[in-house]
Structure 1
Amino acid sequence: MSALPPPAQQLIDGKLVAASDGATYPILDPASGSEIGAAPDGTAADVDAAIAAARRAFDESGWSTDRTLRVRCLRQLHAALLENADAFRALTTAEVGMPGFMMGAAGFDVPVDGLRWVTDLAEGYAFETDLGVAAPMGIPSRRTVRREPVGVVAAITPWNVPTQINLAKVGPALAAGCTVVLKPAPDTPWLAAELGRLVAEHTDIPAGVLNVVTPRSNEVASVLSTDPRVDMVSFTGSTAVGRAIMAAAAPTLKKVFLELGGKSAAIALDDADVAAVAGATAFAACIHAGQGCAITTRLIVPRDRYDEAVAVAARTMESIGARDPQDPGAICGPVISAAQRDRVASYLSLAVDEGGTFATGGAVIDRPGFWVQPTVVAGLDNSSRLAQEEIFGPVLVVIAHDGDDDAVRIANDSPYGLSGSVDSASLERATAVAARIRTGTLAVNGGVWFSPDAPFGGYKQSGVGREMGVAGFEEYLETKTLAFPA
């Protein structure tokens, strides 16, 4: 394994600093449970200083108006990320427990390419549009529409794919001309701190434009949602926390972007290769121990092929197993923490209480670190809590359907609407079913939607707004209409 980066520090107003009171908390390797580093336990004073720095940088520096400066600085950051790629990948496996094969996708390569993509977008983006001359109310006027940065953004990110989500927020926000306070999850603060270090040491980004704070306490961090100096909160995480952030931001009417939970459905229609769909869905449910909001964790198959689908899914998961993320062949590593392991275990107990059976798995693994067996649950319908609630572990629930209409009904019978897939021998039929499913992203007959240029986000309780793509960039812009005498 490559050497890990320097110890984590906060970035506040252009300086790499410890917590103001010197306190730290341990960073654990989820594969072993051992301590691999320590993070500054940011204080209320640290968060206040970061907000003040971001406000000052937005109001008083040229960052919000100097597109050339922004593009140059973001290209410097992209180059620094590539130069430090080995250390970033090693840290991702050590801090997150993410298997190495994911580094070519959401672990590192896609988010870093996404930073390049959004920098290119900002370089050529039409921040001003001429509406031409009209005479509203008989007054000849020339009108333009200008897009301007929102202002100070609080970016609050989760632990499952830190570099992907950190850059999916920081990149577009900075490219748009905003300033940012980035607050990562306390389970994975080091990757965010390392991003801050690269900004401080390898770019000309002015002091205060990007700040990184790493408080462990939610109470300390909660001011990011209430402080009137913050113009927007961009949050990825659980639906429950998203509701709390939206409520906290309401008194100051901040703009709020939320990318929240999912319980996505993989549908095999009755003319599909059900075995292939079952195998692919079981594989997906194992990736990174199921710790992905868009992973398909409900497999919806024709009733007369149900037993076959369960058997194939179980065999697939048994062949994958749960392996050390340092193993080049690992697909399913550990879950992030003891708390997350225990949460998944509670759902496994609930599966039995609800009348389900385990075709494979069904238990935690007694070894150092935080491990859960890849699990296929059979015998439950879509009304069960296991089919309705996000588990965030390597757990797949298989549900029977009775035709296309019933499959659509089951897929939509969820508080979430983040992702999903549809497979059929007929592309036309699969597309027609996909059109009826209320989710933000869908894979049809094996298509892949995950890319920097493609908007990602959900319907219903899966969130508000979109990340990535042009839509994700424009989340960080306001619209101003100007009228001049013609």
Structure 2
Amino acid sequence: MASDLRPGGGTPLLIDGKLVPGSGGVFATTSPTTGERLGWAADATATDLDAAVAAARTAFDETSWSTDPALRARGIRQLRDAMLDHLDQLREITIAEAGAPRTLTAGPQLDGPVRDLGWFADLTETYSWRTDLPIAEPLGMRTARQLRREAVGVVGAITPWNFPHQINLAKLGPALAAGNTVVLKPAPDTPWCAAALGILAAEHTDIPPGVVNVVTSSDHAIGARLAADPRVDLVSFTGSTDTGKAVMASAADTVKKVLLELGGKSAFVVLDDADLRAACAMAAFSVCVHAGQGCALSTRLLVPRARYDEAVAITARTMAGIRPGDPDDPGTVCGPLISARQRERVEGYLDQARRAGGQILVGGGRPADRPDGWFVEPTLIAGLPTTSVVAREEIFGPVLVILPYDGDADAIRVANDSPYGLSGAVWGTDPDRVEAVVAGIRTGTLSVNGGTWYSVDAPFGGYKQSGIGREMGVAGFEEYLETKLVAYPA
């Protein structure tokens, strides 16, 4: 029987297998498209978080979840199937709450991550949990040794608002498959997406009480409490680098494992033998997807100085043709920013660009035909040095900075001249030159000539201040495991 995921009077928390109200009452959620109130979500307090962590601790310590791969696989597949059965409701919630363009919900905003849960269910059944090492004779003692992989324990998952389903499930799927229990704390901007997951887990799966807990809250301090709690064994956080540093500091007192997927200022490098028109058009289009609210989007376009003017003209023409629109319209790729606060942040960077002498060639303001909601025009900025704030810091809006370089070695230097190293792209014709640039750029993922790196079986993560660890793929799954060595007399 289908569950009603419509928020109504307010979505519930999921704690210890029960759907319960927040002890702090409810808080309002707002439509990024209209700026009007959408409804209400349960507002958890420290008391609710304490109960959720206690439930997760008990479920890990006292149930068979961590030692029963068959149970885990069944529960994960049941959650996937329940989400698939409720895709229409989930889609409308995602468009309304996250401002996600409808077309993206058919891919990474919803359908893709839900179906990807099956990959983690399969992995828990096929993974080699125990591996025998060759006989050894340390200190002259003939010894048989076995490597065992075991769940870490209680996972605190702290997630952002930009791709709520993808990021929630990229943490929940591998954490559960590995045998952990989870307390999920989503961003206060998108509580409904997480609450819907909790409802389906409670009503449609055999996942034991306490294994999955969902705690929505308007209080950002709840995330810090989760990171610091000594009963939590691992914190997996996705968000800004500054907040990631705070999470890392909170976790330090208990020396818990930390997984961080943080910011990016990725470079889109166009070599001088590339198809300039195709490359620049792709760079312009991609930075506008979901209003630029993606940490892995390439927001610095690096072009040969000799072709700079031509590249600027192509990029400007493409960006000028992309208009912000209603995310419910199937033709929209650039919807609203998530909140008034985020729009003010983006506009602050545009003001900085002007003060620094940057030329705003396209956009730079609010679209005249969108007086309501939190929209910003796709914006192209030229004339800034690589050392400028706008060319170095993550803006998280539909803003592209175009920068010239002199030769392949200089392109690598400029691409690496950033505290981040999350993603990027390289376009060129000569495979040897492309490979040299790919090898030289220090970043976690790279697209070559439009290749797509996003997939459930491919690890994702960054270098430098873009994070620690990987999500997705076997590498992402293994982040949620401990390694135990057992030695026996041979």
2:468 aligned to 459, 464, 469, which one? 464
1:439 and 2:443 equivalent? yes
State the Cα deviation string for residues 117-173 of structure 1 (Å, max 9, x = none): 111111100010011322111111110000000000000000000000000000100
* Partner amino acid, structure 2, of 1:12: I
Whether the 8 Å CA contact 1:360–1:375 is kept in 2: the answer is yes
Give the root-mean-square deviation of aligned CA atoms.
1.0
CA distance in 2 between counterparts of 1:438 and 1:182 reads 31
Asked if 1:407 is matched to 2:408, the reply is no
SS of equivalent to 1:106 = coil
Contact 2:156–2:185 (8 Å) recurs in 1: yes
Structure 2 equivalent of residue 106 of structure 1: 108
2:259 is matched with 257
- TM-score, with length taken from structure 1: 0.98
1:114 Cα deviation from its structure 2 partner? 2.0
Structure 1, gaps ≥5 residues long = none
1:473 to 477, 484, 487: 477
SS of equivalent residue, structure 1 residue 64? helix
Deviates more, 1:297-306 or 1:425-434: 425-434
Give the alignment partner of residue 313 of structure 1, picking from 299, 312, 315. 315
State the Cα distance separating 1:427 from its structure 2 match: 2.4
Equivalent in the alignment of 1:483: 487
Give the counterpart of 1:355 among 331, 354, 357: 357
d(CA) in 1 for partners of 2:112, 2:222: 32
2:11 maps to 1:8: yes
Matches of 1:364 and 1:342, distance apart in 2: 11
Residue of structure 2 in register with 1:72 after alignment: 74
Identity of aligned residues (%): 60
Structure 2 counterpart of 1:19: 22
Q: Deviations over 1:332-383 (max 9, x none)?
A: 0000000000000001101101111111101123611101010000111211
1:87: how far off?
Answer: 1.1
Aligned to 2:378: 374
SS of 1:482 mapped into structure 2: strand
Which 5+ residue runs of structure 2 have no aligned equivalent? Answer: none
Cα distance in 2 for partners of 1:114, 1:401 equals 40
Q: Give the secondary structure class of the aligned counterpart of 2:66.
A: coil
* 1:4 shift after superposition: 6.1
Q: Structure 1 stretch 145-154 or stretch 115-124: which is displaced more?
A: 115-124
Cα distance change, pair 386–326 in 1 and its aligned pair in 2 (3 A):
same
Deviation at 1:220, TM superposition (A): 3.1
CA contact (8 A) 2:158 2:236 kept: yes
Q: Is the 8 Å Cα contact of residues 30 and 337 (structure 1) preserved in structure 2?
A: yes
- Aligned equivalents of 1:234 and 1:210: distance in 2? 15
| Partner of residue 219, structure 1 | 221
| Alignment partner, residue 229 of structure 1 | 231
Distance in 1 (CA, whole Å) between partners of 2:5 and 2:203 is: 17
Moved more, 142-151 or 6-15: 6-15
Q: Which AA in structure 2 matches 1:441?
A: T
- For the residue of structure 2 that corresponds to 1:484, the secondary structure is strand
Distance apart, 1:73 and its partner CA:
0.7
The equivalent of 1:50 in structure 2 is 52
Distance in 1 (CA, whole Å) between partners of 2:303 and 2:374 is 32
- Whether contact under 8 Å (2:385, 2:403) holds in the other structure is yes
Contact 1:412-1:437 within 8 A present in 2 as well: yes
State the distance in 2 between where 1:427 and 1:77 align: 44
TM-score, length of structure 2 as denominator length = 0.97
Task: Please give the alpha-carbon distance, in whole angstroms, between the structure 2 residues aligned to 1:219 and 1:325.
Answer: 31
> Structure 2: which amino acid aligns with 1:91?
I
Q: Is the 8 A contact 1:184 1:214 kept in 2?
A: yes
Task: Say whether the 8 Å CA contact 2:82–2:204 is kept in structure 1.
Answer: yes
Which runs of structure 2 are paired with 1:54-203 in the superposition (5 Å)? Answer: 54-203=56-205
Give 3-state SS (helix, strand or coil) of 2:44's partner: coil
Q: C-alpha distance in 2, partners of 1:215/1:374?
A: 32
Q: Say which SS state the counterpart of residue 280 (structure 2) adopts.
A: helix
Give runs of ≥4 in structure 1 deviating > 2 Å: 3-7
- Superposed CA offset, 1:230-262 (max 9, x none): 000000000000000101100100000000000
Distance in 2 between the 1:212 and 1:57 partners? 15
**Alpha-carbon distance between aligned partners in 1 of 2:102 and 2:145, rounded to the nearest angstrom:** 52
Provide the rounded CA distance (Å) in 2 between the counterparts of 1:103 and 1:449: 18
Amino acid in structure 1 at the alignment position of 2:476? G
Q: Secondary structure at the match of 1:144?
A: strand
* Partner deviation per Cα, 1:429-464 (whole Å, 9 max, x = no partner): 212211100000000121110000000000000000
